[in-house]
Structure 1
Amino acid sequence: MKIYYVYILKCSDKSYYTGITSNLTKRIVEHKSGKHMDSYTYKRRPINLEFYAKFTNVDLAIQTEKQIKKWSRVKKEALIKNEFEKLPNLAKKKFSKN
């Protein structure tokens, strides 16, 4: 059974990068070494792995990665800190103009 990982990196500029891979160790080494010059993390090294989750279903892993990428910084930090109970209340609120 193949395993997929959704991961969050913290970059040197304090931004977060969310990605997906089937080989977490190899992918982190690539991020740290700057293997891909056109990647988001290349100019933001050093990076640190803050969170990862394992999946056996690639479609669910892709869906989760896309969902996390849309989250606010605060919501990502709650996930990183395992503060799962806070996640529903940290959804971005949309305000209407009256």
Structure 2
Amino acid sequence: MIQNLSTASKKETLRRSFLSSQSDGRKWGVWHSIMDGFRKTTYISSMQRGGWVYIITNKYNTTLYIGVTSDLYSRIVQHRNKHYPNSFSAKYNLSKLVYYENFSRIEEAIAREKQIKGWLRIKKVAIIEHQNPEWNDLFDQIEQ
């Protein structure tokens, strides 16, 4: 809980917390803002957050993995650290980010991921080479 309302009188103070998962698996964020001593609570579904579609590969560019996430930086760090040691990306040493796309809604990112996963490899390679002709690791371009 936000305690000292007097310090919030000149500027707005924000606090975010998460409630438990809903029956459909979504989580709801709660944004509390306090301005001039008045508290406003806004409930935001996690499905309203933006999303990223990304493609990672190995150092030889032989295996591709298409994924979707709401936090691209953290997800790529997980791939690099093999956070899930039995995963496809860990098994095939996939940690080189070669393609990414941002969407304002996670549902759009999920739809795009499914679309790309349905393509033949040649079409996947074409979108990678359109954005990244040298197949460089793009990890340093993304913000934490």
TM-score surpassing 0.5? yes
Name stretches of at least 5 consecutive residues in structure 2 with no aligned partner. 1-47, 132-144
Residue 25 of structure 1 is aligned with which of 56, 69, 73? Answer: 73
Give 1:44 shift: 1.2
Give 1:41 shift: 0.5
Give 1:38 shift: 2.6
Question: Is the 8 Å Cα contact of residues 5 and 54 (structure 1) preserved in structure 2?
Answer: yes
Give 1:20 shift: 0.4
Name the SS of the counterpart of 2:111 in structure 1: helix
Distance 2:94 2:122 in 1: 21
Distance 1:65 1:25 in 2: 17
Instruction: Select the structure that is richer in strand.
Output: 2
Distance 1:38 1:56 in 2: 31
Give 1:67 shift: 0.8
> Higher relative contact order by CA 8 Å / sep ≥ 6: 1 or 2?
1
Q: How does 1:41-56 map to 2 (within 5 A)?
A: 41-56=89-104
> In structure 2, what is the equivalent of residue 73 of structure 1?
121
1:15-65 deviations in Å (ceiling 9; x for gaps): 100000011110001001100123110111152101000001221111100
Q: Letter of the aligned partner of 1:49 in structure 2? A: L
Name stretches of at least 5 consecutive residues in structure 1 with no aligned partner. 84-98
The Cα RMSD (Å) is 1.7
Distance 1:19 1:46 in 2: 12
Give 1:12 shift: 4.7
Distance 2:64 2:85 in 1: 18
Aligned residues between the structures: 83
